[in-house]
């Protein structure tokens, strides 16, 4: 069976197409947006049979009462176009999405993508106040703002975030937004080894400052980020990058205060980036987590207190490591020597075991297409999977939406 691609021009047309499929051939449905994360969660690769439903034409801004600091848009709008609209009113959605010119809002929601700013600003679940989607039978359902029809019993705004297109095809979203900060400052602090950063992270818990981001990089990742940002920064050893946002006065005071707090920990170097250099570094940090030129990219989630231990173990295997350290999230890129599925599996096994030993988990974000069926994307089946399956059967009774994801 071949893959057919459909690109509805309106939400009503999307409903009609899905309904016709449900009443007729009942082919699998694969929602796609900007196609920046097709392999995440078991993959939605085009060789798999079914119907691709593209939201590329669903790009309208439906309502933007700027004074209320909310906006309602269709899910196919790109993140860049959304941010450009908000910027005209001095506002933003404070979530960092790689490849914003391609990534759609619906796709970013479905993968629950976030970046360095998640420590200070949160994730999509903190900003989605209304959502509409279409299930596999062609039924349109909504929750929260601009409600047409609610489905009782489920917090759909939170359920659909991170659902990878398995619960519904997201068509429309209402978001809370925030004012754009006047300034950003980033303190780039270099340390002799990763374990030297652990006590600094402990100190930041009681710091007088309020970081917008706390990122840790091993030297391999730091060199890449500095190169991409085209900055002259020391990057031959592990780095802690701490960002501050607010007025110029607030951001500068906090950066200076952190520099003072760092002195007892004797960093090899510590400098503060302002204005354009800070913007370029932030962009490079955001984009690095989705770098696709490595054999495999994974994300581990564990308690923040174990982040440095995990980064150290990954570094010992040649992995380039970026950590949203305040949130316990680590993104790793396997080295080129892991060029076969067997070598990749061998490298992942101890890291997955370490994450699970500390109550966390490891997920494959991207890898060679041929590896998808041979590597476990999510690892051993967790206790919450039974509940996930029950919810999925309720919202996708025909079992047509993105089959194979979360397997």
Per-residue model confidence as pLDDT tens digits over 356-398 = 999 999 999 998 888 887 898 888 777 777 888 888 988 898 9
Query: Above 80 in pLDDT, residue 292?
Result: no
Whole-angstrom distance, CA of residue 404 vs CA of residue 165: 11
| Range(s) of the chain covered by CATH 3.30.70.2190 | 183-288
- Alpha-carbon distance of 90 to 82, in angstroms, equals 13
Topology at the third CATH level for domain 296-371: Alpha-Beta Plaits (3.30.70)
CATH 3.30.465.10 positions along the chain are: 3-179
Pairwise CA distance, residues 334 & 339, whole Å:
9
Return the percentage of the chain with pLDDT > 90, whole number. Answer: 82
- Cβ atoms of 116 and 323 within 8 Å: the answer is no
**Contact of 188 with 233, CB cutoff 8 Å:** yes
Query: Could you tell me which residue, 147 or 5, shows the higher pLDDT?
Result: 5
- Poorest-pLDDT segment among 114-118, 149-153, 289-293: 149-153
- Residue 119 has which token pair? 């420590």
Residue 143 is inside which H or E element, if any? Answer: strand 140-144
The mean pLDDT of the chain is 93
> Which pLDDT value is given to residue 148?
35
3-179 folds as 3.30.465
Who's near 75: CB < 8 A, 6+ residues apart? 33, 55, 58, 104, 105, 106, 109, 170, 171, 172, 173
Q: Which residues pair with 212 in a beta bridge?
A: none
- Span between the terminal Cα atoms of the chain, in Å: 22
pLDDT in tens, 209-235: 999 999 999 999 999 999 999 999 999
Query: Which fold would CATH assign to domain 183-288?
Result: Alpha-Beta Plaits (3.30.70)
Tokens of 220: 């391999």
What are the start and end residues of each CATH 3.30.70.850 domain in the chain? 296-371
The answer, yes or no, to whether residue 18 has pLDDT greater than 90, is yes
Look up the pTM and report it.
0.93
pLDDT for res 46: 52
* Mean pLDDT across 301-317: 97
């Amino acid at each position: 069976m071949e893959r057919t691609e459909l690109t509805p021009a309106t939400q009503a047309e999307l409903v009609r197409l899905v309904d016709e499929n449900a009443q007729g051939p009942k082919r699998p449905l694969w929602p796609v947006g900007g196609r920046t994360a097709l392999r995440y969660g078991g993959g939605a690769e085009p060789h798999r049979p079914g119907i691709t439903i593209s939201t590329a034409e669903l790009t309208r801004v439906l309502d933007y009462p700027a004074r209320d600091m909310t906006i309602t848009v269709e899910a196919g709008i790109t993140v860049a176009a959304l941010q450009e609209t908000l910027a005209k009113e001095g506002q933003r959605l404070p979530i960092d999405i790689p490849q914003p010119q391609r990534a759609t809002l619906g796709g970013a929601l479905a993968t629950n993508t976030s970046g360095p700013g998640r420590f200070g600003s949160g994730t999509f679940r903190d900003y989605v106040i209304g959502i509409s989607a279409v299930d596999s039978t062609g039924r349109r359902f909504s929750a929260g703002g601009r409600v047409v029809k609610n489905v009782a019993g489920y917090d759909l705004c939170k359920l659909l975030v991170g659902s990878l297109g398995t619960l519904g095809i997201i068509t429309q979203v209402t978001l809370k937004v925030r004012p754009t900060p006047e300034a950003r400052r980033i303190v780039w602090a270099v340390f002799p080894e990763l374990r030297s950063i652990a006590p600094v992270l402990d100190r930041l818990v009681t710091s007088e400052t309020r970081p917008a981001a706390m990122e840790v990089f091993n030297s391999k990742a730091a060199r890449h980020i500095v190169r991409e940002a085209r900055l002259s920064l020391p990057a031959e050893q592990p780095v802690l990058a701490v960002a501050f946002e607010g007025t110029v006065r607030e951001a500068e005071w906090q950066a200076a205060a952190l520099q003072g707090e760092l002195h007892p920990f004797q960093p090899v170097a510590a400098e503060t980036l302002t204005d354009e250099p800070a913007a370029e570094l932030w962009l490079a940090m955001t984009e690095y987590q989705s770098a696709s030129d490595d054999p495999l990219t994974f994300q581990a989630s564990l308690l923040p207190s174990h982040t440095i231990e995990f980064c150290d173990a990954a570094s010992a295997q040649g992995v380039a490591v970026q950590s949203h350290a305040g949130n316990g999230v680590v993104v790793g890129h396997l080295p080129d020597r892991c060029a076969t599925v067997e070598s990749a599996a061998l490298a992942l096994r101890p890291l997955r075991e370490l994450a699970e030993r500390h109550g966390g988990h490891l997920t494959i974000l991207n890898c060679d297409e041929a590896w998808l069926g041979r590597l476990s994307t999510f690892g051993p089946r967790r206790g919450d999977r039974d509940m996930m399956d029950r919810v999925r059967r309720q919202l996708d009774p025909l079992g047509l939406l993105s089959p194979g994801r979360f397997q």
